[in-house]
């Protein structure tokens, strides 16, 4: 499989991502000071963002992980989402912040929100690195957004195409992987 030659253009470079992550960290610190923060990172796509974001939040916190797999080919989200790794920490009465790579239709995030809400957290909010407002189909408690993107398939900084590109340091659009819609 080709690699960097498949990149169409860089949308958000390392400096921009770093600057925005630091801003989000400051905002989250202001909002969660004095609370019982539990950061739940959604694997695999949010692992790079969460590593930087959590270190930008100057507060005590517990970090945990959930993995959700949506089955399907290509670049479109399917409606079949499966929780393949659950959070281990008890979230009851705590302030849970879900860290996502991207909210596209919102179906994946909504699935995890519903899954955690029944465990009775005190608060439950979402921070997404990327948000595609044009594609959203279901409501999610999206409190923090890194960047909005149009209807373009992006890779890098944790996001993949066919399992690859997660290690690209920047967020980029792929050649010839325009949305099928
Ligand atoms: P949603 O359920 O919001 O439609 O999509 C959620 C998941 O689809 C994301 O967590 C991500 O794994 C994948 N996804 C949606 N849009 C993109 C994109 O532009 N690039 C990549 N790499 N994954 C995407």
Say which DSSP state 159 is in.
B
Query: Is the CB of residue 129 less than 8 Å from the CB of residue 100?
Result: yes
For the full predicted model, state whether its pTM sits above 0.85. Answer: yes
Residue 63 contacts by C-beta under 8 Å, 6 or more apart in sequence?
Answer: 38, 39, 41, 50, 54
Question: d(Cα 139, Cα 17) in Å, to the nearest integer?
Answer: 25
Question: Which domains, from first to last, does the chain contain?
Answer: 4-174 (3.40.50.2020)
Please state, rounded to an integer, the average pLDDT across all residues of the chain.
Answer: 92
Catalytic pick among 58, 95, 104, 120:
104
Cβ–ligand 1 distance for 41 under 6 Å, the answer: no
Tokens representing 103?
Answer: 């909210």
Can you name the residues that pair with 70 across neighbouring β-strands?
A: 81
Q: What is the mean pLDDT of residues 46-56?
A: 98
Q: What is the mean pLDDT of residues 137-152?
A: 95
Residue 155 contacts by C-beta under 8 Å, 6 or more apart in sequence?
Answer: 7, 161, 164, 165, 166, 168, 171, 172, 173, 174
Closest residue by Cα to atom 5, ligand 1, is 104
User: What tens digit of pLDDT does each residue of 74-93 get?
Assistant: 566 566 889 999 999 999 99
Does the annotation mark 104 as catalytic? yes
Quickly state the pLDDT bin for 73 (edges 50, 70, 90).
low
The number of beta carbons lying within 10 Å of the beta carbon of residue 69 is 14
The rounded Å distance from CA 45 to ligand 1 centre is 8
- End-to-end CA gap in the chain: 24
The rounded Å distance from CA 33 to ligand 1 centre is 31
């Amino acid at each position: 499989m080709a690699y960097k030659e498949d990149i169409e253009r860089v949308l958000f470079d390392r400096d921009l991502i770093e600057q925005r992550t630091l801003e989000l960290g400051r905002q989250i610190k202001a909002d969660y000071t004095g609370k019982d923060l539990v950061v739940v990172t959604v694997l695999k796509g949010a692992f790079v963002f969460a590593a930087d974001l959590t270190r930008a939040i100057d507060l005590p916190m517990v970090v945990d992980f959930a993995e959700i797999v949506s089955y399907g080919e290509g670049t479109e989200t399917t409606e079949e989402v499966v929780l393949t790794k659950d959070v281990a920490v008890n979230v009851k009465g705590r302030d849970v912040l879900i860290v996502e790579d991207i909210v596209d239709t919102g179906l994946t995030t909504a699935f995890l929100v519903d899954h955690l809400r029944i465990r009775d957290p005190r608060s439950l909010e979402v921070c997404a690195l990327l948000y595609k407002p044009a594609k959203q189909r279901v409501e999610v408690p999206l409190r923090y957004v890194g960047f909005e993107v149009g209807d373009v398939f992006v890779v890098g900084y944790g996001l993949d195409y066919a399992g690859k590109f997660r290690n690209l340091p920047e967020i980029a659009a792929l050649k010839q992987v325009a949305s099928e819609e």
